[in-house]
Structure 1
Amino acid sequence: MQIVSYKIQQFSFKLKHSYRFADAIYRDRPINIIALKDDLGNVGLGEVEAFEFPNYIDETQRQCVFSITSRIMPLLGSKAYDTPFEFARFINSTNAPYMARAAVEMAIWDLFAKRNGVSVQKLMMLAVGDNSATKSAVNVGVAIGIKDSASDVIKSIQTELDQGYTRIKLKVNRNYTVKMLTEIRTKFPDILMMIDCNSQFHLRDKSFFQNIDGLDFAMIEQPLGKKDFIDHAKLQAQINTPICLDENIFNSEDVWKVINRHSAGFINMKLARVGGIANALALSALAVNHGLQVWCGGMLETGIGRAYNLALASLDYYRFPGDISASDRYYQQDIIKSEFEIKNGKIAVPQSIGLGVELNDHAQKKFAELDWIKI
């Protein structure tokens, strides 16, 4: 397969409600969508999932777009690719930001799926040697941003449960007390629930985690530093609740650190953070084969990124409900025609050829304003 041209278009979304985690509050979400055209005229879509500012990891939308246009795309058209894994080896060699690599690599998988007459979901399954029937839907959960009181959190949880979500993740910072979390858990004792700290705590706060150890949270996500594995291991040895790592997992070296140091029991796998689908599949296999559990995290994606997440979350590696919300949860309008809806705690996985979603009229018009850039 030869890539002949591309377009990249930025969309700006206003969130229905401000979303707060760690030390950041999001009211707007800029996202760049990239379209690649191959030598047969097929078009594949990918999504730059970095945030506007480096609050989550040290990558931004602007940095990723610059890397795509100045580093990745000029090299992309210099050779043909027979498999998406061959392309993944190339794009990893560029040393571009992980989320820039992922955006282009997603579009490549869309193209390979279309050229072979299968869905992206099926192509992922075949890539890991799974010839079974595809799953039509996957269990999903939802993340609730930081609130000012237990009563506010309880109201938000009830709202999400009424919408059909069956797994709840609570964003937590240092203002959340043991009493507050106990009150929340007492109100919903049987709901599958976890907390996400986004690196807001230190090992000296271990008593906080020991005191919530009996609240039956499924996991505690990223309690300590973004680059730490040692202190996470020390904390994990002193609590029964599994730790999940997110912000510090980028490559196989990081997964091996978790395995060898017993730093966690779960890994939140995000396609964008690890540089794309091929890397996510490899890291998932490595983690699961060494006793870790993986699940699919979310990044306030559009329907493009959400479709890739659903395909990933449908693989047998993934048994825990991912952060994959319905299309209408964050934005007034998505950029795809048929939006994703939650039914009985599940969202349907696109089954048609390629990614299985199409840009809506507004998004198509925005792309039509751009000329294809030859490479």
Structure 2
Amino acid sequence: MQIVEYKMVQFLMRLKKPYRFAESTYQTRPINILALKDELGNVGLGEVEAFQFPNYIDETQSECVRILNTRILPLLGSKKFDTPFEFSKFIDSTNGPYMARAAAEMAIWDLFAKRNGVSVQKLIMLALGRTDAVKPEVSVGVAIGIKDETSELIAEIRRQLELGYTRIKLKIKPKYTVKMLKEVRTEFPNQLMMIDCNSQYGLKDKSFFQNIDGLNFAMIEQPLAKNDFRNHAKLQAQLNTDICLDENIFNSEDIWKVINLQAGRVINMKIARVGGISNALALTTLAEKHGLKVWCGGMLETGVGRAFNLALASMPLFSFPGDISASDRYYEKDIVNEKFSIVNGKIRVPDTPGLGVSLNEFAQAKFNEIEWTKI
């Protein structure tokens, strides 16, 4: 396969209501959608999932777009690829931001699936050497942003449970007290629930985590600073609750640090953060081989990114419900025609050739305004 043209369009996604995590509040989210065209005229879509500011990891939307336009996409015309893994090896050699690489790599998986008349989900299964039937749907969970009052938080949890989500993730920050979390667990004692700290705590806060250790949370995600494996190991040694690492994980070296230091027991695998589907599969396989549990995280994606997450989360490697929301969860208007809805706690995985989604009239009109760039 050879890439002959590309185009990229930015959408300013407007959230239905402000979403708060860590020290940030989002009301709008710029997301660029990348389209790659092969020599047969097939078009594959990928999504640049970095946030506008470096408050999750250091990568930003604008920097990823700049690198794609100047360092990655112009190189594609001189290359031919026989498998998505060949492309992944090439794209990693550019040393561009992980989320820039992932956007191009997603589009390649979409293209290869279309060329072979299979879904991205099926192509991933074949790439893993699996011949068993694919899952038609996956169990999903939802992340709830930071709230000011316990009553507000409880009300929001109840709303999401009524919508059918099977797992709740609570974004928290140091202003959340042990009393507040105990009240939540008293209200929902048996609900599958976890907390996500987004690196807002230090080892000095270990008493807070020890005091919530008996509240039956499935895991505590990224309590300490980015890249701080040693203190995560110290904290994990003092807790029964599993620590899950997110912002720390980019490549196999990071997985080995978790294994060797015993810095946690769970990995949140995000396609964009690790540079694409191929890397996500390799890192997940490595982690699970050494006893770590892995699940699929989310990045407030559009329908394009959501479809990729569903394909990945449906793999036999994953069992814990991922952060994959229904189409109407976050944005006033999505960019794809397909609607993803919660039915009995699950979302259907697209099974048509390629990614299984198409740009809606609004999004396609914006794409049509921009000329293809020949490589």
TM-score normalised to structure 1 length = 1.00
- C-alpha deviation, 1:368, in angstroms: 0.6
SS at match of 1:342: coil
Aligned equivalent of 1:22: 22
Deviation at 1:332, TM superposition (A): 1.2
Please name the residue that 1:258 is paired with.
258
Give the 5 Å matches for 1:69-84. Answer: 69-84=69-84
Deviation at 1:281, TM superposition (A): 0.4
Q: Which residue of 2 aligns with 1:38?
A: 38
**Could you tell me how far 1:268 is from its partner in structure 2?**
0.2
Give the distance between the partners of 1:173 and 1:240, measured in 2 at CA. 21
Matched with 2:130 is: 130
Q: Secondary structure at the match of 1:213?
A: coil
Give, in angstroms, the shift of residue 23 of structure 1.
0.5
Structure 1 position 151 matched with structure 2 position 148: no
* Secondary structure of residue in 2 paired with 1:53: coil
Alignment partner of 1:159: what SS?
Answer: helix
How far 1:79 sits from its partner (Å)?
Answer: 1.4
Displacement, 1:333? Answer: 1.1
Matches within 5 A, 1:1-375: 1-375=1-375
Three-state SS of the structure 1 residue aligned to 2:214 is: helix
Separation in 2, partners of 1:79, 1:154: 53
Q: Distance in 1 between matches of 2:79 and 2:146?
A: 47
Are 2:171 and 2:196, in contact at CA under 8 Å, matched by a contact in 1?
A: yes
Aligned partners of 2:127 and 2:248: how far apart in 1?
A: 26
Q: What letter is aligned with 2:154?
A: I
Note the C-alpha offset of 1:342. Answer: 0.6
Alpha-carbon offset, residue 25 of structure 1: 0.5
Taking the aligned partners of 1:83 and 1:331, their CA distance within structure 2 comes to 34
| Count of aligned positions | 375
- Structure 2 gap ranges (5+): none
**SS across alignment from 2:320:** coil
Deviation, 1:259, is 0.6
Q: CA deviation at 1:65?
A: 0.4
Task: Name the CA distance, whole Å, in 2 between partners of 1:234 and 1:314.
Answer: 33
Shift of 1:296: 0.5
CA distance in 2, matches of 1:289, 1:128: 14
Q: How large is the RMSD of aligned CA atoms in angstroms?
A: 0.5
Amino acid of the structure 1 residue aligned with 2:120: V
Give the AA of the match of 2:53.
Answer: F
Which residue identity does 2:250 align to in structure 1? Answer: F
Kept after mapping to 1: 8 A contact 2:14/2:333: no
CA contact (8 A) 2:14 2:29 kept: yes
Q: How far has the Cα of 1:130 moved from its partner?
A: 1.0
| SS of residue paired to 1:103 | helix
* Contact 2:164 2:344 (C-alpha < 8 Å) held by counterparts: yes
- Please give the alpha-carbon distance, in whole angstroms, between the structure 1 residues aligned to 2:189 and 2:180: 14
Q: In structure 2, what is the Cα distance between the partners aligned to 1:266 and 1:311?
A: 20
Q: Distance in 2 between matches of 1:272 and 1:196?
A: 19
Question: Alpha-carbon deviation of 1:127?
Answer: 0.8
Secondary structure (helix, strand or coil) at the match of 1:217 reads coil
Shift of 1:14: 1.1
